[in-house]
Amino acid sequence: GVVPSPLSSFQILCLVILICFSASTPGYSSLSVVEMILAAIFFVIYMCDLHTKIQIINWPWSDFFRTLIAAILYLITSIVVLVEGGNHSKIIAGVLGLLATSLFGYDAYITFPLRQQRHTAAPTDPADGPV
């Protein structure tokens, strides 16, 4: 089965980054808001077992692309914020954004659907019966 990613820790990290971005530059806070909402939606879907009931969407690939896109967007946003410099909350938000980048990148790695496919072992019994 599909193991849901550690969404609640990502929500807390997104909330902290949202607070830092809002205190420094409100324009960057939309990324954290969107990621918090998406993480909550995926959390509810996996916890209510809706991913087995709604078959029209490929949930493993959706979760993988959500985390991959989040990692890329957090990386870009964090680099922009750190290059701009400014007050302490902006620098903290940039550093936490880089932390979020690594966490979302790791989550994308562990939720990669092709990595989760297991190889089934070949039968070890002889084909012509016991010897």
Can you give the pLDDT at residue 123?
59
Q: Mind spelling out the 3-state secondary structure of the chain?
A: CCCCCCHHHHHHHHHHHHHHHHHHCHHHHHHHHHHHHHHHHHHHHHHCCHHHHCCCCCHHHHHHHHHHHHHHHHHHHHHHHHHHCCCHHHHHHHHHHHHHHHHHHHHHHHCCHHHHCCCCCCCCCCCCCCC
pLDDT, the chain, mean: 77
Mean per-residue pLDDT, 38-44: 85
pLDDT in tens, 45-85: 888 888 888 889 888 888 889 889 989 988 998 898 889 87
Res. 103: pLDDT tops 70: yes
How would residue 126 be classed by pLDDT, with cut points 50, 70 and 90? low
Residue 13 has pLDDT above 60, yes or no: yes
